[in-house]
Amino acid sequence: IDTRGYVLTNQHVIVGVNQINITIMAGTVFSATVTQTDPVRDVALLKISSTRTNFATASLGSNADVAIGEDVLAGGFPLGNDLPGAASFTKGILSAIRVFNGLNYIQTDVTINPGNSGGCLFTIQGKVIGITTAGVVPPRTDAENVGLCIPIDETKELIKAGLGK
């Protein structure tokens, strides 16, 4: 999210790990450190350990870019490290805005598997409007493709604090 190597992800992705590695698209692996976390909102801001200032970034959207019924894309690694290769993308629609366990979420029918956590939910225009966090299947239900994403606006205070802006 910043050319200096700041990366936004889910906090549950990094809990209990001894080392954080981030692989950029070119295949280079960097270590990273945690700069900010919000365990209630399940968000973490990481900093790649590098003096580079030219990392590629994603354009952050806002709640104003969220339109129910619009097409969206989710990017991530659906099986984590068990499925080698580049990130994959799935397309679906933005289904609703929900409150679940007292927190706001974007609901989408985009497939969200365990390894997708911490990936981005994008508008078709490429703006990040959410962080994928969970696929929901209530007990004794045969529901599919009920995915929840943290709205990007709910991460902006953490980002601001972590970037010092």
Of 12, 50, 88, 109, the active-site residue reads 12
- Active-site annotation holds for 12: yes
Among 59, 71, 82, 117, the active-site one is: 117
Residue 42 is among the residues annotated as catalytic for this protein:
yes
Give the DSSP per-residue string, 4-17: TTEEEE-GGGTTT-
Q: Give φ, ψ of 162 to 5 degrees.
A: -70, -30
The active-site residue, picked from 2, 31, 42, 142, is: 42
Each as own residue / partner, the long-range contacts of residues 69-73 (CB below 8 Å, 24 or more positions apart, any chain) are 69/93, 69/94, 70/94, 70/123, 70/124, 71/124, 72/108, 72/110, 72/121, 72/122, 72/123, 72/124, 72/129, 73/110, 73/121, 73/122, 73/123, 73/124
Concerning whether 49 is annotated as a catalytic residue, the answer is no
Beta bridge partners of 4: none
Which of 80, 68, 59 has its CA nearest to residue 122?
59
Q: Residues with catalytic annotation?
A: 12, 42, 117
